[in-house]
Amino acid sequence: SGGQRQRTALARALVHSPRALLLDEPFSALDPALRDRMRAELDALLQRIGIPVVMITHDPEDLAWFGDEAFYLQDGAIAAVPTTIEARMSRRLKGLAT
């Protein structure tokens, strides 16, 4: 399954105890329900091991889950820097709208 492939890739990335983790669209190939489960699993894992993550994503939900700091890029330059509060409020508002 897609979730198993994601877990395997993450385990391979973490096996050598990196000081940071770079993730490029880690959940984009997953269906919405599995995406939410994988976000929760990754969040719990990152809390436990305590390493920083740089995540490339187009999904605002990823920002809401993992976005302590965020940068929106446009044409290779930083176009906006939302605050964590803005990112979390965006997630809450989206949840109310659905």
Q: Domains along the chain?
A: 2-97 (3.40.50.300)
Output the pLDDT for position 98. 40
Question: Using CA atoms, how far apart are residues 25 and 28, in angstroms rounded to an integer?
Answer: 6
Write down the pTM of the prediction: 0.71
Per-residue pLDDT tens listing for the chain (98 residues): 778 888 898 899 999 999 999 999 999 889 999 999 999 999 999 999 999 999 998 888 888 888 777 787 788 888 777 665 566 666 555 555 44
Question: Using CA atoms, how far apart are residues 28 and 22, in angstroms rounded to an integer?
Answer: 15
